[in-house]
Every structure is written in structure tokens, then in C-alpha cells.
């Protein structure tokens, strides 16, 4: 298994009326010449979690993703990519338009991965990693991961040193 130490959260940059999934992203990424969907997880508008383990067209966890190559060499090898469908308005401008079901599923995926991979110590949005590495700016995932983590997740688990000890890329 590869050494994974970061979770990176993305958005699909689709309007809220576009209910796409991993199969659609797989086609988009293959059209770019990639080896299929670059994300390990895709969270649909209804909260459905798509993954290779569930039989969906996502990147297997055993393989490096194709989601943060713009941040420099080595980042795809050490990260897991989670993509939430949505993230832009009808004019393709960044917008936090994710559903309650998606937020619940994101929490489930992130907490499960933190338990499954003790080597993961940092989470952040794509834009947070971009800011750290100096890559070309993007709004992805169209929300502040640190605010979501602090205000919606970590306070629910005050007894968990594991969740309390997670570092955030934006800090």
C-alpha cells in the first residue's frame, strides 16, 4: 500500500442542477488522456458515496490519484482525493451549493479514512494545497475546509484525540 498522509477535498465544478457521478468524471478524465477518474471518492448530490470498493469508476485506493498534479511531483502519490459534485452556480462561478446529504457523506468518508489510515495527519481543500505549493489558483472545493472541519465535525467528537489532532492545510 502507498504511504498516504493527506486527504484533499475537491468539487466537480458543476452547477447544482447537474447530478453527475464517477462514471461521468471517468469519461472526462479519460478524454484528457488520464487513466480514468482521478478521484478515489465521488459524493453525488443525493449523498451517495461512489468508490472503487463499491464498484464505481473511481481510482482504487492502492493507486495514486490524478487530482493534484498541478501542485507538483509526488502529491498524487501521498493523497486521497474526494470529489463533491457541485461547487459552481449556473454561471460557473464558485458557489458552496452542496446538499445536507453530501455534507453527511463527506463527514462519513473523512472520518472512516482517518480511522483506516493512521498515517493521514492533514486534510484540506484543493485550493489550500495550491496555496501551499504555489500552483495556479483555483476555488476548488468552493468552501473553506477548515471551517467545515472545525464547526461541523470535530466538535462532535471531543473524546477523539485522533480527530482533534488533525492538521488543516489552510493553517
- Catalytic residues, by residue number, are 10, 39, 126, 138, 140
CB 60 within 8 A of CB 49: no
Measured distance CA(12)–CA(43) in Å, rounded: 10
Three-state secondary structure of the chain: CCCCCEEEEEECCECCCCCCCHHHHHHHHHHCCCCCCCCCEEECCCCCEEECCCCCCCCCCCCCCCCCHHHCCCCHHHEEEEEECCEECCCCCECCCCCHHHHHHHHHHHHHHHHHCCCCCEEEEHHHHHHHHCCCCCCCCCCCHHHHHHHHHHHHCCCCHHHHCCEECCC
Amino acid at each position: 500500500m502507498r504511504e498516504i498522509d493527506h486527504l484533499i477535498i475537491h468539487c466537480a465544478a458543476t452547477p447544482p442542477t447537474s447530478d453527475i457521478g464517477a462514471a461521468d468524471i471517468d469519461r472526462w478524465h479519460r478524454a484528457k488522456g488520464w487513466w480514468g477518474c482521478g478521484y478515489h471518492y465521488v459524493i453525488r448530490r443525493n449523498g451517495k458515496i461512489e468508490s472503487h470498493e463499491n464498484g464505481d469508476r473511481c481510482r482504487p485506493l492502492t493507486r495514486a490519484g490524478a487530482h493534484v498534479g498541478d501542485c507538483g511531483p509526488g502529491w498524487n502519490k501521498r493523497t486521497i482525493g474526494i470529489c463533491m459534485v457541485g461547487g459552481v452556480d449556473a454561471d460557473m462561478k464558485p458557489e458552496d451549493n452542496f446538499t445536507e446529504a453530501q455534507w453527511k457523506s463527506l463527514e462519513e468518508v473523512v472520518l472512516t479514512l482517518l480511522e483506516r489510515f493512521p498515517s493521514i495527519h492533514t486534510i484540506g481543500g484543493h485550493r489550500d494545497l495550491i496555496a501551499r505549493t504555489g500552483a495556479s489558483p483555483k476555488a476548488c472545493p468552493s468552501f473553506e475546509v477548515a471551517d467545515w472541519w472545525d464547526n461541523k465535525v470535530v466538535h462532535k467528537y471531543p473524546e477523539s484525540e485522533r480527530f482533534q489532532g488533525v492538521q488543516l492545510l489552510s493553517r
